[in-house]
Amino acid sequence: MTRAFTLRGLRLAALLACSSISFTSSAATGDTVRRETPLLEHWRFVQNDTLADSAALASSGTDWQAVSVPHTWNMTDAASTAQTSPDSKPYKRGRGWYRLEFDHGALPANAWLQFDGASIVADVWLNGKYLGRHRGAFTAFRFDVTDKLAAGKNVLLVKVDNSAPVHGDDLTAIAPLGGDFNMSGGLYRSVSLIETPARAHLALGDYGSSGVYADTVSVDRDRANVRVRALVENEKATDAGLTLRTHLIDATGKTVSSSVRRLRVGAGAKAQGELVLSVPRPHLWQGVANPYLYRLQVELADGAGRVIDRVEQPFGIRQFRFDPQAGLFLNGQHLRLHGVNLHQDWQDKAWAIGPREIDASLAMVREMGANAVRLAHYPHAAHTYQQAGRLGLVVWAELPFVERSLTPADCKAGAAIPPAFLDNLDDQLREMIRQHYNDPGIAMWSVANEVAMGGTCHGVDTVTPAVRRLHALAKQEDPTRPTTLADFNEDYPIVGPMFPVLPTGGITDIWAVNRYHLWYYPGGGDAFGAALDRFHAKYPTHPLGVSEYGAGAALSQQTDNPLGGLVGAMDMHGRSRVVYQPEGYANYVHEQIYAALARRDYLWGSFIWSMFDFGSGTRHEGDIGGTNTKGLVTFDRATRKDPFYFYKANWSEAPVTWITGRRYRDRAYRVTDVRVYSNADMVTLSLNGREIGVRKADECPLRTCVFEHVRLDEGSNQLQAQGMHGTARTSDAVAWTLAPDNARNVYLAAGQIATGQVSSDGHRYGSDNFFVGGQGTPLELDSPYGSRFGTHVRNVTDVRDAALWAAVRHGSFGYRIALENGRYRVRLGFLDPVKDAQPGTRRFSVTANGGVVLPSLDIVAVAGAPATAITRNFDVEVRDGILRLDLVPEVGEAVLSNLVVERL
């Protein structure tokens, strides 16, 4: 590969952006100057970790698999939601070979092969001649094949390696060395042949870029000044007198500004030509409000005036400004970024996606009302940035420096950071910036994500020197955009036992934090908000954002009360057979955290983790395997989860009315709260045709209307919510069922977050609900973040019944259960969850409607051992519609495993 042109010393007031890398083919435009021919079909592929280079070069490929690119050999094993176990095989990482035969006519004066993405390392041969190697999974790269391309038959051979590195001298030991996402292998983006009619051309060897860089030097309502730098390569044997011409063309096809520059380039030399465009009455790129794009055309002509190369790109005139107290301003107008994180991953396709999938994903982002995307944790396809620009989305672009600069084995051994790793980081950063320099939406360059997680080896900081180095390089490459990073654990001692706290704030121009309160971290919205205030005070001159927050949501797992117990935040081993992540709990997290964000005007933006579920081979959680479940939409893009509509109601101008909990169809309890996300002026809820209540907009904080204590009917329940938007209406309906058994009685699994357990005798239990006080905790939860007692019930063998003893509510607590007046039998289930509990270490009483029904209960003394189930029954009379149960500690905490209330 040819690389040149270090961009130094630019001091520009603002950035004018347009898309780069992907040049329109001559077949589509009729352009005979620069021709790009896609090489997508008729490839042959074999996945073979031991095939020697010489054997691959000698092979005809006839017994290899026929494929087209984009392609990855991880379409199924790295992009499946199939459930996992400790014995599940990880997705395949190794070497794949691609072979293509293609014919070519008369040879051009200049020819380059372009690869838009090959993961992780690619070696390339053309007609048996080695072209070179590219190390980096996410950026485009090119090889000059002018003297290797043949008239007639050509054979292109590519070896791609996505092997997991163990040590720093391994071929694939480049960034990212960590990350909670899969690294699919293959030619997963397009391949093409670029041809120009002369050996002098706009730079094709400049880190895979277009060779054209444009900046908005100044802009006001009357005029914008745009500086265009064009890099030229003269590969002729003689000096060349050349002319650069640049034109700015508006959406109607009218040229609004032009500029010409003559330059002389020596034989085999490179040169930069600078031009200025003065644009009267500029039409600004104003984000989603008005994503107006010009077309920037740069031509190179020879001494006779013949055009010998041309690049044309979309172009947006805009300026970003970040303020530490007031947030972000776009063209002088305040803009709060409501963003989402996005991986380049799709169920059953993995990374082998194209424009259709990218457009569908970004269309959902806009449907929800988001105005920004963080393209995590690496450079995405050029089309992603281009489409984001067309839609007006502000983009956080990110380098794949994730978690660590040493492999875990080298970190443990105390090895030094290989200089080649740092050099490759520099190369990947240059490639990202130069290839996407002109994309209009990019507002910042992120140089790292969560590097503090694995950044300390034997007490030595192995990452922040690299972050500082990358910050300096990014400012050298593009002084017009701020640098940023995503911090993981600064000032968060809760993660200290696993990840030493390593500050990364204050290094980059702006910064943001990944914080998962109510998921990985304790404390709700108030604790989260207080943490943000501390960071704002600690770094008062550094604008602050939130780069990640969120919660997993499993569609088949629901809850009656999101505070009833603990979710399983993650399980990296697959040893916990069920790791509950109810959809309703995710609703609660997003409502709480977004409330804290909305109250802090100093934040320049926030990004939900994440827009879509995505592949993560180490995970076993929720109701699927090998998948991070925090998406607002499922991995296959088929189902929008409840929180999607929470944000749509808050961010979108489209009318929204959405009843949550629709996938919780078979209800456990007669009395429930109904939540409706709506941006209507007024919402009316009805049940089986009768009106339940009305909520005006000012009664629905953050567009969340709550109808409390709705009493369901036995059998079918048809709920309808109708929203009034002025004179227009929106409506939504759900269908729930309440079985006769659950209409009359109450079956409750204490301490449990997920509803729907069915006992061996056929009773449907709800999750913990109607409680006052106490804490719900699972007995065993194989998660580094979850609180647990590390035991399980000993004397219940049926797995259906054992599930009802899998958690406890403990502390000083009670229950307030709405019932029809009458006589009931109550059965309480107890076990002591402490493994070494002894008689006398725990004692408590139980009262019902104020009277003592179980005095001084010592569970271990009665059961004979810890973790041994016992039950106690008593009858009560309900006279005022409420059953009041209280568990009052005498020694230690009170505990409860399950509760049954049956009508007599």
Q: Which residues are known catalytic residues?
A: 450
Strands (E), 452-604: 456-457, 460-461, 483-487, 511-514, 544-548
Residue 377 CA to residue 432 CA, distance in Å, equals 12
DSSP states along 90-118: PPP-SEEEEEEEEEE-SPPSEEEEEES--
DSSP states along 419-457: HHHHHHHHHHHHHHHHHHTT-TTEEEEEEEESTTTT-EE
Residue 342 CA to residue 630 CA, distance in Å, equals 11
Q: 72 and 184 in contact (C-beta within 8 Å)? A: yes
Residue 69 CA to residue 75 CA, distance in Å, equals 12
Where b means 16+ CB within 10 Å and e means fewer, 591-612 reads: bbbbbbbbebebbbbbbbbbbb
Residue 579 CA to residue 752 CA, distance in Å, equals 12
Residue 244 CA to residue 257 CA, distance in Å, equals 14
DSSP states along 630-699: --SB-TTS--B-HHHHHHHHHH-SS--EEES-TT--EES-SEEEEEEEE-SSEEEEEETTEEEEEEEGGG
Strands (E), 495-613: 511-514, 544-548, 605-608
User: DSSP character for 554?
Assistant: B
Q: What token pair was written down for 351?
A: 């990374």
User: DSSP character for 36?
Assistant: E
Q: 859 and 845 in contact (C-beta within 8 Å)? A: no
Q: What angle do CA 361, 574, 639 make, to 5 degrees?
A: 25
Q: What angle do CA 217, 220, 224 make, to 5 degrees?
A: 45
Q: 548 and 446 in contact (C-beta within 8 Å)? A: no
Residue 106 CA to residue 149 CA, distance in Å, equals 10
Q: What token pair was written down for 896?
A: 């409860």
Residue 455 CA to residue 462 CA, distance in Å, equals 5
Residue 735 CA to residue 716 CA, distance in Å, equals 7
Q: What token pair was written down for 534?
A: 């501390």
Distance (Å) of CA 321 to CA 15, 539, 543, 748 = 11, 18, 10, 54
Which residue from 203, 53, 555, 137 is spatially nearest to 343, judged by alpha carbons? 137
Distance of CA 86 to the CA centre of its chain: 26
691 burial level (CB within 10 Å; 0-12, 13-18, 19+): exposed
One-letter amino acid at 562 equals P
Q: What token pair was written down for 610?
A: 């994440």
- The number of residues making up the chain comes to 904
| Residue the block writes with tokens 């959406």 | 251
Residue 594 CA to residue 884 CA, distance in Å, equals 34
Which residue from 201, 379, 222, 373 is spatially nearest to 299, judged by alpha carbons? 201
Helices vs strands, H then E, count in the chain: 13, 54
Residue 162 CA to residue 137 CA, distance in Å, equals 9
